[in-house]
Structure 1
Amino acid sequence: MIIKILGLYTKIRHYNVPASYRYFFRDTYLCQVIQWKYLIRDYVIKKPYKKISFSGEFTPDIAFALPFAYWHFKNGTLLQTEGAKYTSELYFFSADHLETFATRTTTGNYNFETPRILYSQNYNMRKWARVPLKEIYHNNIYSYHKPILIIANRYNMEWDGPPVSFLSIALLDELFNSYKSEYQIIYNRPRPENITNDNSDIYDLDEYDWIEREHPEVLLMENLFKQNLGKAKNFNHFQLMVYANAEHFISTHGGTGALASYFGGINILLSKKGPEHYFGCFTKLYPKFSGAEIHHAKSDQDVLDLAERHLRGKSLYPNQAK
């Protein structure tokens, strides 16, 4: 009944919104209404009671579930968290975190107990707190004579079709040639075995051997992980340690870009299509993760232009030499 009422309200109030997006407006109202029943426990009693379980995709996990859990931790009301494999280091503050889910699912995104799900017309969330991943995982291990530039790529199925927003080998070649003298470039495109997979197939871009042959100055994350000097417990933990030492990122649509936005500095994010464009996620939501500057690139040429504007000559800041 509540969903029907909110659906009618949304249809009347937001009649000019495309029908394909309107239900996200309704879902925002539903998330807000559900939180009403916790007013007394969250703001008056304030004792540990909250169990937060999330089995959805990586982006909504770190965008909504993780900051929601951190808010409850700071509020003194968090009891337990439950998530996918390799998430304990993300939920470092949880005294009782369970890694229950072997895979992430699309249906798991629709957890209306979180402040928002997927996309929203309003990202001013009350029960949401910035998670200090950079402060927690900053270290003296992954530090170099030159500042780090993380280039985080993906080559996945998108919307049940071929890859759309990815850094091609030709684009990588131009970026490497342009910035490897100024930055210590670290290239990251996780293998399927290193992450918890969802409904998107991961393809092979066949770039690893090419990078080692043509650009030996570029460090590969997977090679650094094999050395594992920081003794990370898993690849997600390792990513947090390396990213925490960086201030410059070039990333892509999805969880790749969301994670890169968690560590401050500058993130040039390639996204050629998606609901994120309509809802303004890259200007309204992603900067909230850490205060990072997010520069949305809609094409390969945008990536090059934004890099020239925001990375060229910007590497001269204090950085601990290795």
Structure 2
Amino acid sequence: MAEYRVTGLSPEVIGELIAEVGPLWHERHQARLTARRRQRAVGAGAKHKLVFVDRLLATLVNLRHGTTHDVLACWFGVDRSTITRAIGEVRPLLAQRGCTVAPAVRLRTLAEVIEHLGTGGQTGIIDGTEIRVRRPAAGRKDRDTFISGKTKQNAVKTMVVTDVEGRVLFCSPVRPGSCADITQARQLGLAQLLADGPFLEILADAGYQGMGAQTGGRVVTPPHRKFKKNAPSWYEERHEQQRKAHSSRRIRVEHGIAHLKNWRALARHLGRREHMSDIVQAVAGLLSHQQTAVLARGHRA
């Protein structure tokens, strides 16, 4: 169960997760036990059949491969409700960790990401990605808000920020699929953070055109097309060169999104939509932790 092909993480990273998340889970568990009136002392009664390490592994396999709770219950020899409760306890703890950019540095908010990029003089890349979800039940008022204008399917959307190497730095909480990329960025306060923060360059696609003027040129998008009809041949060639040059610079964010989608929980989600923000941020944190560990091993070698 702890193999890389099963969890997507190396044994070293899993060991670090156990050491970091285990005490947090134990603390929350003890707080729940002492928060209510009891007839027996804390620690009395039946013991957990599913220890924390198994709870963490079950959560990782669920996120990596989208394995159903029924299958995980058979693997670990417990009831399905035990797996559901275990994943519901561990997943928020993973989501709160943030993205790892160094062994002792975590980025949890968009403001911290902008400060990190500005301090290091780095270029950031942003893009929105969609995750298919179940359609809301008939009769609900928000049934049409999840329909994506791009794919015409029910989806939620998250904004991904990477560096020029494609390392994931931030994944935002999800929004319904009908929300435009630039609207989501504005709601996250990206324009204000860039206008008030250090000068840095953020590469984006055409979905963010208009933010460059709001941020003093910090958001760089593909060049506008000045001629809609009857464009001179020299302009067509020049515009195509500029567009390809910009695309080649921001292609790394597509690689980062592809690594995120390797976790099957982000390919298509068949569970509750309310859990999607935690799922996205938990996967982003796990992936960035593994990427940082691989880079650290490469530097040591």
TM-score (normalised: structure 2): 0.26
More helix by share: 2
TM-score (normalised: structure 1): 0.25
